[in-house]
């Protein structure tokens, strides 16, 4: 683990094996932390907080820029390690590391640009200030699918805002996190950035409920987000929860078929569909569906499965057997209810090892099926027909989730209706899954609370204080006793 700027083992003496999902071979081990380790990490972060919050913004910015530079120096090493433990193809992991270090640079500058504001005062001779202040220790709990990027979306703004941090990575992908923090944040004051490894029920729950951790920033499943909310209800912590999604992809009747096919294959299958904003439901005009589904199935059939480390790979493995089994259950249940598999729908016979599943296109689906209602989180593309654009919008909204939604059209009237009426935190028009450092990311409904990226992402790690200052300090005519004037 990484506490007070140094490597440390757990008091438990136990370890967790980290496996390559493409080969099922053990890559390395990390300590199986305990509540005692959480206490050590939180104590280090708490002790570092007073000095870190007083560090001037320009110095914090310089240190964040240095962290980004050090990540660039270790770029290839981090990409390779991330590919081995997480499974995505190298090009996708290059993008993840690049996005991560640029996030550091973005918040380095934003953090020294904003401190609060001066607002009009109620009377002459007075001053009203709105100040932004850090909370203290932030607990960052990060998933396995984008372990560095989704950490950086929390870590960079939390540090820029003046907080200290304790990170708990997924037990499936802790190696790159540990290495990245060691090489990129070793120049920070001891205790400002700490990493503890361990299982959720032991380390995660202890971090979430620790009385000296006022903020929990979590990305993961809705079920775990609800668990965190229940655990912390009596403590009134600030919860920053980015949870699950069931994102729709709607084609209008004027959508260019060839471009939409390429866009959908990417939106649904990047990282083997293991993205919170993956397209998991597709709605196509009934007259277009046969031609579109056939073109999509042909395109998907040409994608190459294999270990992410191989340059010929388009789609890597899933992260583990339980995740692949859930995809198989969703596909089997849909087929049993009348869906048809056009391509895929099985484990690839030519890959004996690894948690691979063929990218799968289904038609004749409806909202009674789990694959159209529950988060599948795998390489599946279920396609459903619609008759009117009103119906398409209603189908897009027919979900408990509200993370993202995509529309393909060049009809401005349909675009306006879509972004005004679809309840999702991010709306993509003709360009799915594109994020913007300056644009907030987050969900509605059961997809969570709070926002990452943009000014909103920095605001998540500040609390607001209003200062009212009467510079003259004279007696007010409205004080007691009443009626004297």
Residues annotated as catalytic are 242, 276
Q: Are 16 and 29 in contact (CB under 8 A)?
A: yes
Cα separation of 139 and 114, whole Å? 23
Which tokens in the block code for residue 219?
Answer: 């990305």
Radius of gyration of the chain (CA): 25
Which tokens in the block code for residue 351?
Answer: 């890959």
Residue corresponding to tokens 């668990």: 227
State the burial class of residue 55 (Cβ atoms within 10 Å of its Cβ: 0-12, 13-18, 19+).
Answer: middle
Hey, is 280 helix, strand or coil? Answer: strand
Strand pairing report for 238-242 and 448-449: antiparallel
Give the neighbor-by-neighbor strand order of the sheet with 6-7. 6-7, 2-3, 193-195, 164-168, 137-141, 215-219, 238-242, 448-449
Nearest to 17 by CA among 175, 164, 132: 175
Cα separation of 441 and 454, whole Å? 8
Q: Which helix (H) or strand (E) holds 436?
A: none
Which tokens in the block code for residue 473?
Answer: 């300090």
Nearest to 12 by CA among 139, 193, 198: 198
Chain centre to alpha carbon of residue 343: 30
Within 10 angstroms of residue 125's Cβ, the number of other Cβ atoms is: 11
Contacts of 376 (CB under 8 A, 6+ apart): 273, 280, 326, 327, 330, 370
Nearest to 249 by CA among 55, 66, 426: 426
CA angle 180, 29, 350 (to 5 degrees): 95
Strand pairing report for 426-429 and 380-386: unpaired
DSSP assignment of 179-237 equals HHHHHHSTTSPTTSEEE----IIIIIHHHHH-TT--EEEEES-HHHHHHHHHHHGGGT-
Chain centre to alpha carbon of residue 285: 32
């Amino acid at each position: 683990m990484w506490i007070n700027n140094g490597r440390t083992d757990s008091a438990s003496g136990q370890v967790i094996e980290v496996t390559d999902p493409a080969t099922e071979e053990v890559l390395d081990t990390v300590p199986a932390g305990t509540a005692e380790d959480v206490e050590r990490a939180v104590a280090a972060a708490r002790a570092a907080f007073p000095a870190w919050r007083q560090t001037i913004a320009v110095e914090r910015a310089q240190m964040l820029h240095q962290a980004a530079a050090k990540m660039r120096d270790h770029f290839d090493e981090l990409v390779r390690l991330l590919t081995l433990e997480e499974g995505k193809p190298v090009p996708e992991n290059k993008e993840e590391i690049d996005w991560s270090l640029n996030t550091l640079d973005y918040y380095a500058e934003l953090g020294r640009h904003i401190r609060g504001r001066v607002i009009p005062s109620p009377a002459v001779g007075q001053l009203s200030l709105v100040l932004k202040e850090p909370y203290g220790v932030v607990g960052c709990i990060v998933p396995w699918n984008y372990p560095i990027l989704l950490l950086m979306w929390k870590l960079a703004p939390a540090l820029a805002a003046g907080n200290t941090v304790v990170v708990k990575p997924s037990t499936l992908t802790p190696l790159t996190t540990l290495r990245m923090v060691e090489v990129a944040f070793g120049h920070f004051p001891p205790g400002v950035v700490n990493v503890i490894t361990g299982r959720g029920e032991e380390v995660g729950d202890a971090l979430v409920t620790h009385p000296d951790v006022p903020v929990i920033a979590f990305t993961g499943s809705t079920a775990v987000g609800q668990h965190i909310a229940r655990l912390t209800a009596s403590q009134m912590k600030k919860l920053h929860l980015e949870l699950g999604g069931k994102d729709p992809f709607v084609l209008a009747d004027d959508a260019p078929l060839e471009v939409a096919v390429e866009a959908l294959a990417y939106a649904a299958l990047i990282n083997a569909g293991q993205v919170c904003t993956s397209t998991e439901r597709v709605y196509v005009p009934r007259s277009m569906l046969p031609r579109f589904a056939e073109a999509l199935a042909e395109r998907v059939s040409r994608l190459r499965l294999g270990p992410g480390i191989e340059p010929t790979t388009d789609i890597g493995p899933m992260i583990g057997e339980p995740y692949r089994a859930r995809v198989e259950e969703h596909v089997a249940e849909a087929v049993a209810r009348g869906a048809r598999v056009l391509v895929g729908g099985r484990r690839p016979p030519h890959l004996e090892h690894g948690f691979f599943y063929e990218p799968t296109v289904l038609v004749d689906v409806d909202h009674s099926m789990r694959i159209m209602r529950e988060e599948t989180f795998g390489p599946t593309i279920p396609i459903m027909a619609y008759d009117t654009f009103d119906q398409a919008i209603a189908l897009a909204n027919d979900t408990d989730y509200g993370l993202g939604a995509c529309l393909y059209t060049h009809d401005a009237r349909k675009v306006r209706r879509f972004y005004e009426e679809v309840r999702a935190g991010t709306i993509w028009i003709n360009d799915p899954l594109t994020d913007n450092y300056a644009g907030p990311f987050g969900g509605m409904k059961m997809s969570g609370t709070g926002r990452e990226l943009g000014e909103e992402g920095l605001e998540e790690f500040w609390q607001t204080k209003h200062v009212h200052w009467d510079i003259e300090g004279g007696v007010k005519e409205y004080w007691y006793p009443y009626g004297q004037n």
